[in-house]
């Protein structure tokens, strides 16, 4: 039995469906119509203790719903979840005492009070002994460089500062498992780097098991070895980043800057897109198209100023997975 | 015993937080108590001046009416300390705040109650209630002894529970409907408007609602009858004067069971 064991979970919501306009509204009041929308479809995975797993997918893919089920806020319609021996949605109090959850979009801090006051409240809520509280607080404040603003009211903080404070708030009680739901959303580059560094260190030093969702592939590349991709509620991929690169990384992108306006007719196995006025991108599979032939074909027909070949970013691979191309 | 102390401690920390939050805006905090007091007192003054033109209302003189009002305000003052979180529960569900309560290892109702207590509005409502009580208690012919004082205290507790049960019930409805303000307006606030007066002056249908649907009559009218013994009590069963604590505890238990059941529903249907 793994530390986190998710087996065949399915979750659907009833969304009210009504026709437009006032007649539709009235009809809806008399006899509401509901539509089943499947948010998560038959998803299974298991995570070992101390693992750090990135959970990605486009908006509405079912990431947050899955996190909510893992955290015990929602229960699955079908399937089962066991985390650290607990069933999250049944043994609420015992279970949540050992987990931490960060919702990047929803702060748990007291808006009008200094950050430290929210921490004191959490100390009482989680019954954290004084000594442990001091130790954790000092360590996290230092790691996240928060000394300068811990006594400022939350409403005066920048988004990056607030996010760091929210992360500490979720960790004061030394949870064994932490769920991060978009912990870097809206944070600037430097702030993101601080947060990633912190997450990496915490995982390495304390063996905290972590699962986090993000839209920023940099987050994943810099923190997680393992990646779970879901789309339209179903799991599409579960493995390492390395494997993705090896398996799907044979595509290449050729960026060509033309000396004048150029019209390039469609080519077999090559996706052509305009970047700028005189700049086009040619994406193709290295195994199917000979790059030398493609280049000499272009050079012989057009006035070309510049040429660059790049390997695909992990982001574009995932983009293609969402589009069902790979 | 340790568990109890620990819970009291957390309740204390929550209360401290609320006061510190409010005192970030000191003037507003004080004005808030004052504004609530004045808003409610104005309503009372209008009734007072109207009544000086009539002499009595179905046998109730002005002091007896003020006594009736005082019960309403004293219970609401206490209620609002404990049940603001439930009154505003709809917003908490909609903005995801309720999910955060679920993620903390404490009782859900406990967290809702103590993290939202509105002490300043309580001072406004409760202060008016006490003032009305002081103005009227000596002039309504009640002999204040052990029995009447004991009866009064039990009545206050019962009255708080009755309204608390209504709040808890309406809060629970939010889990199904997401928006219940208009239902609250319809049942709670409208019923409360009638509750300031002896219910015997109203149409039978309204009386029925006030006794059996949203039983405000048990918060002030029937208990006041025990103390004042007005003639219009003859049209109701005498036992109603003794039912307030039972109605309060019974309603609260029912609302609590509904709440428990609905939390399960929230987890299976939430958004």
pLDDT in tens, A94-138: 999 999 999 998 999 999 999 999 999 999 999 999 999 999 999
The helix (H) or strand (E) run that includes residue B194 is helix B190-195
Q: Are A236 and A43 in contact (CB under 8 A)?
A: no
CA distance A101 to chain B (A): 8
- pLDDT confidence of A19, banded at 50, 70, 90? low
Phi, psi of B61 (to 5 degrees): -85, 175
Q: How far apart are CA B240 and CA B196, in angstroms?
A: 18
| Cβ pair B104, A96 in contact under 8 A | yes
- Domain map (residue ranges) of chain B: 2-265
Q: What percent of chain A has pLDDT over 90?
A: 50
- In contact, B16 and B114? CB cutoff 8 Å: no
For B88, phi and psi rounded to 5 degrees?
-100, 20
Nearest to residue B219, comparing CAs of B198, B242, B244? B244
Q: Residue B73's closest CA among B121, B34, B28?
A: B121
pLDDT at A76: 93
Q: What is the pLDDT of residue A77?
A: 92
**Which pLDDT does position A74 carry in this prediction?**
92
Q: In this complex, do A97 and B105 lie within 8 Å of one another by their Cβ atoms?
A: yes
pLDDT band at B178 (very low <50, low <70, confident <90, very high): low
User: Which of B87, B96, B90 has the alpha carbon at shortest distance from A73?
Assistant: B96
For B170-198, letters b (16+ CB in 10 Å) and e give bbbbbbeeeebeeebeebbeebbebbbbb
CA-based nearest residue to B125, from B198, B75, B190: B75
Residues of A in contact with B10 (CB under 8 A): 124-125
How many angstroms separate the CA atoms of B143 and B147, rounded? 9
The whole-number average pLDDT for the span A171-180 is 96
Q: What is the pLDDT of residues B143-174, one digit of tens each?
A: 899 999 999 999 999 999 999 999 999 999 88
Are the beta carbons of A113 and B14 separated by less than 8 Å?
no
pTM for the full predicted model? 0.83
Across the interface, whether the CB atoms of A74 and B20 are under 8 A apart is answered: no
List, for residues A73-84, the tens digit of each pLDDT value: 999 999 999 999
Nearest residue to A126 (alpha-carbon basis) of B6, B16, B4: B6
Checking phi first, is residue A323 left (phi over 0); if not, alpha (psi -120 to 50) or beta?
Answer: alpha
Tokens at residue B163, please?
């309204």
Mean pLDDT calculated for residue range A56-77 = 90
Q: Radius of gyration (Cα) for chain A, nearest Å?
A: 24
Name chain B contacts of A65, Cβ cutoff 8 Å: none
CA distances for B171 relative to B98, B136, B192, angstroms: 12, 35, 18
Question: Does residue B180 surpass a pLDDT of 80?
Answer: no
Q: Which residues of A are less than 8 Å from B9 in CB distance?
A: 124
Q: How confident is the model at residue A3 (pLDDT cuts 50, 70, 90)?
A: very high
């Amino acid at each position: 039995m793994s530390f986190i064991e998710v087996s065949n979970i399915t979750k659907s919501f009833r969304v009210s469906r009504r026709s437009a306009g006032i007649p539709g509204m009235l009809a809806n009041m008399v006899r509401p119509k509901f539509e089943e929308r499947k948010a998560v479809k038959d998803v299974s995975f298991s995570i070992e203790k101390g693992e750090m797993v990135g959970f990605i997918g486009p908006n509405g893919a079912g990431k947050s719903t899955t996190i909510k089920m893992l955290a015990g806020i929602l229960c699955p319609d079908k399937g089962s979840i066991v985390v650290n021996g607990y069933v999250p949605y049944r043994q609420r109090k015992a279970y949540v005492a050992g987990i931490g959850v960060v919702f990047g979009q929803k702060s748990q801090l007291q808006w009008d009070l200094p950050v430290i006051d929210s921490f004191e409240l959490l100390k009482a809520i989680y019954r954290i002994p004084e000594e442990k509280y001091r130790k954790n607080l000092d360590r996290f404040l230092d790691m996240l460089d928060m000394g300068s603003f811990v006594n400022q009211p939350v409403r005066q903080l920048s988004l990056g500062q607030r996010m760091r404070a929210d992360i500490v708030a979720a960790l004061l009680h030394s949870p064994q498992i932490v769920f991060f739901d978009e912990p870097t959303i809206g944070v600037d580059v430097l702030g993101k780097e601080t947060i990633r560094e912190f997450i990496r260190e915490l995982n390495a030093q304390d063996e905290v098991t972590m699962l986090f969702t993000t839209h920023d592939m940099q987050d994943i590349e810099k923190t997680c070895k393992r990646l779970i991709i879901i789309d339209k509620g179903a799991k599409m991929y579960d493995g390492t980043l390395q494997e993705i690169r090896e398996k799907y990384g044979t595509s290449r992108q050729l960026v060509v800057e033309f000396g004048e306006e150029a019209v390039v007719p469609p080519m077999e196995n090559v996706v052509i897109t305009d970047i700028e006025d005189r700049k086009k991108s040619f994406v193709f599979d290295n195994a199917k198209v000979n790059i030398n032939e493609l280049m000499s074909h272009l050079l012989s027909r057009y006035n070309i100023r510049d040429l660059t070949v790049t390997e695909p970013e992990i982001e574009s691979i995932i983009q293609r997975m969402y589009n069902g191309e790979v | 015993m340790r568990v109890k102390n620990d819970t009291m401690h957390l309740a204390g920390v929550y209360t401290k937080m609320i006061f510190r939050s409010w005192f970030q805006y000191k003037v507003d905090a004080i004005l808030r108590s004052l504004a609530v007091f004045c808003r409610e007192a104005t309503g009372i003054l209008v009734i007072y001046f109207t009544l000086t033109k009539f002499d009595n209302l179905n046998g109730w003189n002005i002091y007896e009416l003020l006594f009736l009002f005082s019960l309403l305000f004293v219970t609401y003052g206490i209620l609002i300390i404990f049940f603001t979180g439930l009154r505003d529960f709809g917003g908490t569900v909609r903005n995801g705040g309720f999910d955060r309560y679920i993620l903390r290892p404490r009782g859900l109702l406990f967290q809702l109650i103590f993290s939202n207590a509105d002490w300043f509005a309580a001072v406004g409502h409760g202060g008016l209630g006490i003032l009305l009580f002081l103005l009227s208690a000596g002039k309504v012919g009640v002999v204040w002894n052990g029995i009447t004082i004991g009866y009064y205290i039990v009545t206050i507790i019962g009255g708080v529970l009755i309204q608390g049960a209504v709040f808890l019930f309406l809060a629970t409805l939010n889990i199904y409907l997401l928006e219940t303000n208009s239902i609250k307006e319809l049942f709670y606030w409208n019923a409360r408007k009638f509750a300031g007066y002896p219910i015997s002056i109203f149409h039978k249908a309204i009386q029925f609602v006030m006794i059996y649907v949203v039983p405000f009559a048990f918060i002030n009218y029937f208990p006041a009858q025990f103390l004042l013994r007005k003639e219009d009590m003859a049209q109701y069963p005498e036992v109603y004067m003794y039912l307030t604590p039972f109605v309060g505890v019974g309603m609260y238990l029912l609302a609590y069971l509904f709440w428990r059941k609905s939390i399960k529903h929230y987890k299976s249907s939430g958004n």
